[in-house]
Amino acid sequence: MPPSSADFIFQPIFGNSIFLTKPVLLVFLSVIVAGTFFTLSARKAAIVPSKLQFAGESIYTFVRNGLGKDVIGPEFMRFVPFLFTLFVFILTNNVFGVVPFLQFPSMSHIGFPVGITIFSYIVYHYVAIKKHGLKKYLTDICFMPGIPKPVYLILTPVELLTYLVTRPLTLAMRLFANMFAGHLLLLVFTLGGEYLLTSGLIMKVLSLFSFSFAVGLSFFELGIQCLQAYIFTLLTALYIAGALADEH
Amino acid sequence: MTGTLAIVGFGLSTIGPGTATGLIFAAYINGVARQPEARSILQPIAFLGFALAEALALFGLVLAFVLK
């Protein structure tokens, strides 16, 4: 059976309640895993760090400096908890796609990316409105200063569309589509190998190639999953930085 | 012949991002070749650009599934 979008629909785990399916369970698991990991790594904080503390702190430093300080600027410390939570949550959920036995990136269900996108959408608009006031913020978006008047006819709708529709849409779609496509890619090679196993002798040998491709692509997917978590957080940081900037 | 036109649409939608990814890495290689010490600065930018361009092709893939 060729892989299709039907492979992303799971049966409920207990009885008929459609709430608790595998992706939802994975999201809960990701919260527990990330929470336990960072609690353990920060509990016995010492000047000479243990391996665990070192691992936890490098992730934190990466987000704080690479995504906070370098992108947002002097006011970055306010947003580090948000960015860090976002990064870790997306990362754990994505990496579930290649963890043996779990093997499903929960972000490949559009609902989860949409949820976190709504969160960052509210944050960057709220930050801008709080800093500039609603009126100035809207005029900044609609009428970018230093541009000849007739151009506003085209620019204003485009800018409005960018801020209100395109940004959240692409933010959610990018994460979802990457995870969806990645999982589908792995399915193609594993199901293809399985199909070849049921055919003749030569095909059985060829299925080895298919399976080893699936293993190789799993590592490629791991890279993509980390990259996507990074990019989602980076873009959120960029939008917050744009909201904090004096001139749009 | 059977199949859906959506797959052809996906094929068409990969042309743009494919070209874009090529251009991004061409620029990255050029930059590193001219100034090897700039590698660490250029690498994250190149990968950011790559991921942003690649996402467009994946939108095509998602639409190919949605518009079946």
Instruction: Write down the mean pLDDT value for chain A.
Output: 88
Query: Is the pLDDT at A248 greater than 70, yes or no?
Result: no
Question: Which residues from chain A sit within 8 angstroms of residue B58, using beta carbons?
Answer: 174, 177-178, 180-181
pTM of the shown model: 0.88
ipTM of model: 0.77
- Does the beta carbon of A8 lie under 8 angstroms from any beta carbon of chain B? no
Do residues A57 and A45 touch, judged by C-beta distance below 8 A? no
Q: Is residue A3 part of a domain?
A: no
Do residues A198 and A212 touch, judged by C-beta distance below 8 A? no
Query: Is the pLDDT at B2 greater than 80, yes or no?
Result: no
Q: Is residue A122 part of a domain?
A: yes
The domain total for chain A is: 1
Can you give the pLDDT at residue B14? 92
In the CATH hierarchy, which top-level class contains the domain B13-66? mainly alpha
Question: What CA–CA distance (Å, rounded) separates A171 from B21?
Answer: 19
Query: Is the pLDDT at A1 greater than 60, yes or no?
Result: yes
Q: What domain range is A32 assigned to?
A: 8-244
Q: Do A177 and B62 touch (CB under 8 A)?
A: yes
- Could you report the per-residue pLDDT of A87-119, keeping only the tens digit for each? 999 999 999 999 988 889 999 999 999 999 999
Query: Is the pLDDT at A4 greater than 90, yes or no?
Result: no
Q: Is residue A170 part of a domain?
A: yes
Q: Is residue A101 part of a domain?
A: yes
Can you give the pLDDT at residue A247? 60
Q: Is residue A1 part of a domain?
A: no
* Helix A201-244, helix B39-66: angle, nearest 10: 110
For chain B, domain boundaries: 13-66
Q: Is residue A162 part of a domain?
A: yes
Q: Is residue A2 part of a domain?
A: no
Q: Do B51 and A176 touch (CB under 8 A)?
A: no
Scanning B28-57 for CB atoms below 8 A from A yields: 47-48, 51-52, 54-55
- Does the beta carbon of B65 lie under 8 angstroms from any beta carbon of chain A? yes
Question: Which residues from chain A sit within 8 angstroms of residue B55, using beta carbons?
Answer: 170, 173-174, 177-178
Who has greater pLDDT, B6 or A34?
A: A34
